Amino acid sequence: MSVDVLRSLRVRLIVGVVVIEILMLSLLVWSNMRVIRRAHADRLRDTAASLLQEVAATSGSYMVEVDYARLKEYLSGIAENPELSYLVVLDRDRHPVVRFGSAPAGYTPETDHSPAEVGDRRFDVADDIVFGGRKMGRVLMGFSLARMERAIHAARVRSVSIAGAEIVLTILATVLIGMHLTRRLGRLAEAAQRVGAGDYSVAVPTETDDEIGMTAAAFNGMVAEVSARTRQLKAALARERVVKEVSIDGMITYDVASRILSLNPAMKSLFGYAQQELLGRRTDVSLAAIPDGSDFWIRATDKCCELQGRRRDGGVFPLEVHVGWTDVDGRRLYAATLRDVTERKRAESECRGLLASNRYLVHKSLAVQEQERRHLARELHDELGQCMTAIQADAKLIQELPEPRDARVVAASAGAIMQVSARVYDVVHSMMQRLRPTVLDDLGLVAALQEAVTAWENLHPGVCCDFSARGALGDLGERVNITLYRLVQEALTNVAKHARASRVRIRLERGADATAGGARADAVFLLIEDDGRGMDPSQPGRGLGLIGMRERVAMLNGALEMRSSPGAGLTLAVAVPATNGGDDG
């Protein structure tokens, strides 16, 4: 039974194969032409960049010397480049000093970014001439695209010729083995249908190493590549989704009208809005005030901006915003990251407070030091000066007595000298005690503290001070001893000045303290408690006492904790290492 030519499977196969071959070859030629065009464009761009950099880097010295003749002689070799359309060197006043070729009018051509995007068949580039950090001029260069277009045209002719020859060969091969190919093409068609349905596990047997076999092999490779890329795409989307969902920073995307298109779950915890409440709303809903005009959200920025965020309940908090954008299908899509920086601001405030306290401590320490010097100078002048004058007067009296000397006068003068000497000793001993307690060196820390507590109780009979010590406290070292002594001394001074307490308890103990690694370290613990009026720790005063105590403890790598509230007394808990690398005693 004859079959109409138009209905013949062989004819349809030949026509179909030829059409498919033409389409595939056309696509291949088009793809190759894109690659060739891009390669030529990249080559021309790299050549232009290299020459521009060379000219800009070398011309600076000539510009400084104003040696334009040597500059032109140097540039004449570069100007011989067959693709170079013009080369112009401008001075700082934008006047041409060297020119080759036909430069554009006004010497202000619009700089091109890529030869592939040029519309006037000339690739214009420019760069500043900088020498010694100063701008000396500017280099303008233009490259003709004629050579590139000729090469692209030749490649297009070759590609089309090769494609035409392949189409002819395909027609001949299809006519000869059409019936044999029908069955194998059917397999390919069936496999293609399965791939189109999402089944990437299909594989077409190649059977023989002919065109159909190669097509089958290529089809199998394509399916494997598509399958691998599909898995990679799914994994990338999954990773992106995980990042957005687990990030503690808010993330949004929005359009040019600042309408929110998507957001991550962190936005709810930051602002208190449900996802559906924010979708479609303007991004301004997240800010307490719009900075720098209404176009803030559509300006890409390379740095973070600190703004004020506004929650759904009206609460305001410090917010850090970073805006970026990209083009998707010809439309600009914006993205922003929003971070709550409340904790960072609080830490910065605490650091500023500590810095101010340290500065105050230094200033106050200098003032106290100067006050102590004035006091010592006054005592030396008032007390020792008078005493030494009295001794000198009595000695002069004895010396000037006529012979024989009156024993009663000598005895009276000697007694006066002894009284004045005793007074001198008391004054010197008092000053030495103020500078450093000698009992600390003679009898140790515990005895020194007991003596200080007893002396303090004698001065303040209305306050009961209970002191106790436990543990091996005799080998602590000089720095630890003097630090603990000064802490107790300062604490008792503060109680006398501010606490209005009726009872003070001081406990000194040596034992083991837990370190950060879980081990036990040898430490000394000092606890000072009073039942006075207390204070608010969040409202520190401007006195030197507590600041100085903290600094003393910090110098020994120790820790000081203060617990107090108005009307509930005050407790100071100190822990310092029992052995300190800086001890010299």
pLDDT of 113: 83
pLDDT of 300: 57
Of residues 53 and 408, more confidently modeled: 53
Alpha helices by DSSP H, 331-406: 342-379, 385-400
Cβ atoms within 10 Å of 6's Cβ, excluding its own: 8
DSSP secondary structure, 207-231, as one string: -SSSHHHHHHHHHHHHHHHHHHHHH
In Å, how far are 137, 280, 307, 334 from 300, measured between CA atoms? Answer: 31, 21, 16, 8
pLDDT of 243: 56
Percent of the residues in the chain that have a pLDDT greater than 70, as a whole number: 76
At residue 178 the predicted structure's pLDDT band, cuts being 50, 70 and 90, is: low
**For 171-196, what is the mean pLDDT?**
72
Name residue 511's beta-bridge partners: 523
**For 52-66, what is the mean pLDDT?**
85
**For 232-256, what is the mean pLDDT?**
73
Of residues 266 and 125, more confidently modeled: 125
In what helix (H) or strand (E) does residue 98 lie, and over which residues does it extend?
strand 96-101
pLDDT of 529: 92
At residue 1 the predicted structure's pLDDT band, cuts being 50, 70 and 90, is: very low
- Does residue 370 register a pLDDT over 80? no
Identify the DSSP state of 402.
P
Structure tokens at 53: 């950099």
At residue 76 the predicted structure's pLDDT band, cuts being 50, 70 and 90, is: confident
Percent of the residues in the chain that have a pLDDT greater than 90, as a whole number: 5
In what helix (H) or strand (E) does residue 456 lie, and over which residues does it extend?
helix 445-459
Alpha helices by DSSP H, 8-145: 9-65, 68-79
Cβ-Cβ contacts under 8 Å for 411 (sequence gap 6 or more): none
- Does residue 523 register a pLDDT over 70? yes
- Does residue 527 register a pLDDT over 90? yes
CA 534 to chain centre: 41
- Alpha-carbon distance 148 to 85, whole Å? 13
pLDDT of 8: 54
pLDDT in tens, 113-138: 888 788 778 888 888 888 888 888 88
pLDDT of 465: 92
- Quick check: 51 and 78 in contact, CB under 8 A? yes
pLDDT in tens, 126-176: 888 888 888 888 888 888 888 888 888 888 888 888 878 887 787 777 767
pLDDT of 251: 82
pLDDT in tens, 192-228: 888 888 787 888 887 777 777 788 888 888 888 888 8
DSSP secondary structure, 105-146, as one string: GGG-PPPPS-GGG-SSSEEEEEEEEEETTEEEEEEEEEEESH
- Does residue 298 register a pLDDT over 50? yes
Least confident among 5-19, 208-222, 434-448, 502-516: 5-19
- Does residue 5 register a pLDDT over 60? no
- Does residue 584 register a pLDDT over 50? no
Q: Which of 60-69, 294-303, 512-521, 524-533 has the highest mean pLDDT?
A: 524-533
pLDDT of 405: 61
CA atoms within 13 A on the CB side of 193: 6
pLDDT in tens, 448-502: 888 888 988 888 888 899 999 998 888 888 888 888 988 998 899 888 888 888 8
Helices (H) and strands (E) counted in the chain, each on its own, are 14, 14
- Alpha-carbon distance 419 to 425, whole Å? 10
pLDDT of 339: 82
pLDDT of 400: 62
Residue entry with tokens 């600041």 = 547
- Alpha-carbon distance 575 to 579, whole Å? 12
Cβ-Cβ contacts under 8 Å for 414 (sequence gap 6 or more): 394, 398
pLDDT in tens, 77-116: 888 888 888 888 888 888 888 888 887 776 677 788 888 7
- Alpha-carbon distance 31 to 419, whole Å? 116
pLDDT of 444: 83
- Does residue 19 register a pLDDT over 50? yes
- Quick check: 174 and 184 in contact, CB under 8 A? no
- Does residue 395 register a pLDDT over 50? yes
In Å, how far are 230, 236, 248, 254 from 239, measured between CA atoms? Answer: 14, 5, 16, 21
At residue 13 the predicted structure's pLDDT band, cuts being 50, 70 and 90, is: low
What are phi and psi for residue 165, nearest 5 degrees?
-65, -40
CA 386 to chain centre: 66
- Quick check: 577 and 556 in contact, CB under 8 A? yes
Q: Which of 123-127, 190-194, 270-274, 423-427 has the highest mean pLDDT?
A: 123-127
Do the bridges between strand 503-514 and strand 464-470 make them parallel or antiparallel, or are there none, so unpaired?
A: parallel
At residue 517 the predicted structure's pLDDT band, cuts being 50, 70 and 90, is: very low
Mean pLDDT of the chain: 78
As a whole number of Å, the end-to-end CA separation of the chain is 122
Least confident among 201-210, 379-388, 389-398, 568-577: 379-388
